[in-house]
Amino acid sequence: MKHRTIIEPFRIKSVEPIGLSTEAERVEQLRTAHYNPFLLRSRDVIIDLMTDSGTSAMSAHQWAGVMEGDEAYAGSRSWERMEEAIQELTGMQHVLPTHQGRAAERIIYGHLGGPGKVFISNTHFDTTRANIEFTGATAIDIPIAEGRDPDLQHPFKGNIDLGALDALLKKHKGSVGAVILTVTNNSGGGQPVSMANAEGASALCRHHGAPFFLDCCRIAENSWFVQHREEGMEGLSYRQIAQRMFALADGAVMSAKKDALVNMGGFLTLRDEALAEACTNLLIITEGFTTYGGLSGRDMEAIAIGLEEVFDPYYLDYRIRSTTFLGEKLHEVGVPLMRPIGGHAVYIDSKRLYPHIPPHEYPGQALVCELYKLAGIRSVEIGSVMFGTYAPDGSLVPSAMELVRLAIPRRVYTQSHIEYVAETFEEIMRTRDRAKGFRIVKEPRFLRHFTAHFEPLP
């Protein structure tokens, strides 16, 4: 029998209580946090969908690994396990352990970057872009046109535009720092990248002599989509698909906080020995010695195990199907979404949900606050609060889209938690006409979404 019901492929052995609250209490918490979810205390949140990064539940096997962690400064056994796991998966010889993804980005893009250099990606994640721009280099995003349309159905909306890539590689010949394929494409809605697209990008890079990198923090989730949606890939295992994609690249950067199923960690992996040597110098200066970098032995142990577990077909089926489950439920009640649903998150189009709230009154922030008030759900605005800028006359230059992200932590919430989220959206839809916009009353110069204060408009 083929079941409709998606069951979590694990039993719960240890539980973390959720502090429930009343709507009146949450109204107060929201006011205290200046209507910014980043300023809420975790203990006041019921379902935390702020990020899927570092929020995974580790398995019993990983926790056992934590006890096995070898904390030696040099040549730790846990390092050997992690290095071997990464070499086996990526086929790359040189592994540099870092405390999280952005530390690996700083090392490699710090080395390859600099004034006059150009980096090209399907979409640079914000820390990637920041690390590149910090060196004085330029970061250019070229997702396929279909990826920019939230409504359009396409199996691989995370793809890079190969025509534009070819043109840019010609135009900037000799000054391309790297081409970076982000799989899945987080900023583009958690959308997958096809193997054919990765092959195309890799071939163009070879042809024009540019380094080709993967930002592979959700590579296992991407492999699920490739196997299920791309012709000729159905016979390969998820791990084989990932290995085939790694084989196309010169190096990869990973935030282990995603598909390595751990709470902290990352790495950089490279084929070229001279490049690895240069990066190792930076690793030692800024992270730590080569056999631990930014990590404890116990972290490395948990990463080695997580990189195995994440390719379990039953886990990946549950993972992708449960994210889709939430997306489909919201679609059924008429919530405007980015579709198809990506791997790690559901993205809501708040511009269409609240057409009466203009971008300069932040419709995404309005939804984020409603979700918290009604149900204690924490989410993140990815729109004009995060990316908006000001014109010289002080008016807002809005972001292209007004999205709200519901990111799903791995192995953390059960189906009833997800149903609770879906039910909340029924109320959001019933009361959508009454939602009010916000204004910013205090903001820092950079990355304002983290600390800005808001006030509801009357």
Residue 53 found at the interface with ligand F0G (CB under 6 A): yes
Give min distance, CB of 342 to ligand F0G, in A.
Answer: 12
Give min distance, CB of 413 to ligand F0G, in A.
Answer: 16
Question: Which of 117, 172, 257, 449 touches ligand F0G by CB under 6 A?
Answer: 257
Residue 259 found at the interface with ligand F0G (CB under 6 A): no
127 vs 324, beta carbon nearer ligand F0G: 127
Give min distance, CB of 13 to ligand F0G, in A.
Answer: 27
Residue 102 found at the interface with ligand F0G (CB under 6 A): yes
Give min distance, CB of 42 to ligand F0G, in A.
Answer: 15
DSSP letters along 214-271, please?
EE-TTHHHHHHHHHHHSTT-TTS-HHHHHHHHHTT-SEEEEETTTTT--SS-EEEEES
Give min distance, CB of 52 to ligand F0G, in A.
Answer: 7
Question: What mask, x for binding ligand F0G by CB under 6 A, covers residues 320 to 359?
Answer: ----------------------------------------
245 vs 435, beta carbon nearer ligand F0G: 245
Contacts with ligand F0G: how many residues (CB under 6 A)?
15
Question: Which residue is at the shortest CB distance from ligand F0G?
Answer: 101
**What does the alpha-carbon distance between residue 395 and residue 390 come to, in Å, rounded to a whole number?**
6
**What does the alpha-carbon distance between residue 143 and residue 121 come to, in Å, rounded to a whole number?**
8
Give min distance, CB of 198 to ligand F0G, in A.
Answer: 15
Residue 182 found at the interface with ligand F0G (CB under 6 A): yes
**What does the alpha-carbon distance between residue 287 and residue 290 come to, in Å, rounded to a whole number?**
9
Stretch that binds ligand F0G, among 41-49, 120-128, 243-251, 297-305 (CB under 6 A): 120-128
Nearest to 79 by CA among 291, 231, 235: 291
Q: Which amino acid is at 262?
A: V
Residue 319 found at the interface with ligand F0G (CB under 6 A): no
C-alpha neighbours within 13 Å on the C-beta side of residue 1: 3
Residue 158 found at the interface with ligand F0G (CB under 6 A): no
Residue 128 found at the interface with ligand F0G (CB under 6 A): yes
182 vs 424, beta carbon nearer ligand F0G: 182
Q: DSSP class of residue 179?
A: E
Question: What mask, x for binding ligand F0G by CB under 6 A, covers residues 184 to 203?
Answer: --x-----------------
Tell which positions 211-250 bind ligand F0G, by CB under 6 A: 215, 217
Question: Which of 127, 243, 286, 324 touches ligand F0G by CB under 6 A?
Answer: 127
- Four-residue CA torsion sign, 124, 129, 135, 138: positive
Asked if 93 and 104 touch (Cβ cutoff 8 Å), the reply is: no
Nearest to 128 by CA among 305, 299, 253, 256: 253
329 vs 344, beta carbon nearer ligand F0G: 344
For residue 348, give both structure tokens.
Answer: 């809501």
- Given the structure tokens 């004034």, which residue do they identify? 115
Q: Which amino acid is at 61?
A: H
Residue 255 found at the interface with ligand F0G (CB under 6 A): yes
Question: Which of 76, 100, 223, 291 touches ligand F0G by CB under 6 A?
Answer: 100
Q: Which amino acid is at 32?
A: T
Give min distance, CB of 102 to ligand F0G, in A.
Answer: 3
Q: Distances in Å between the alpha carbon of 284 and those of 82, 131, 162, 277, 299?
A: 18, 18, 37, 11, 18
Residue 263 found at the interface with ligand F0G (CB under 6 A): no
260 vs 357, beta carbon nearer ligand F0G: 260
Q: Distances in Å between the alpha carbon of 365 and those of 184, 216, 359?
A: 25, 30, 10
434 Cβ contact list (under 8 Å, min separation 6): none
Give min distance, CB of 59 to ligand F0G, in A.
Answer: 20
Gyration radius (Cα) of the chain, Å: 22
Asked if 382 and 347 touch (Cβ cutoff 8 Å), the reply is: yes
416 Cβ contact list (under 8 Å, min separation 6): none
Stretch that binds ligand F0G, among 94-102, 323-331, 370-378, 445-453 (CB under 6 A): 94-102
Stretch that binds ligand F0G, among 99-107, 285-293, 295-303, 326-334 (CB under 6 A): 99-107
Asked if 348 and 151 touch (Cβ cutoff 8 Å), the reply is: no
Question: Which of 29, 45, 48, 51 touches ligand F0G by CB under 6 A?
Answer: 51
Cα 318 to the center of its chain, rounded Å = 18
Q: Can you give the binding site for ligand F0G, defined by CB under 6 A?
A: 51, 53, 100-102, 125, 127-128, 182, 186, 215, 217, 255, 257, 266
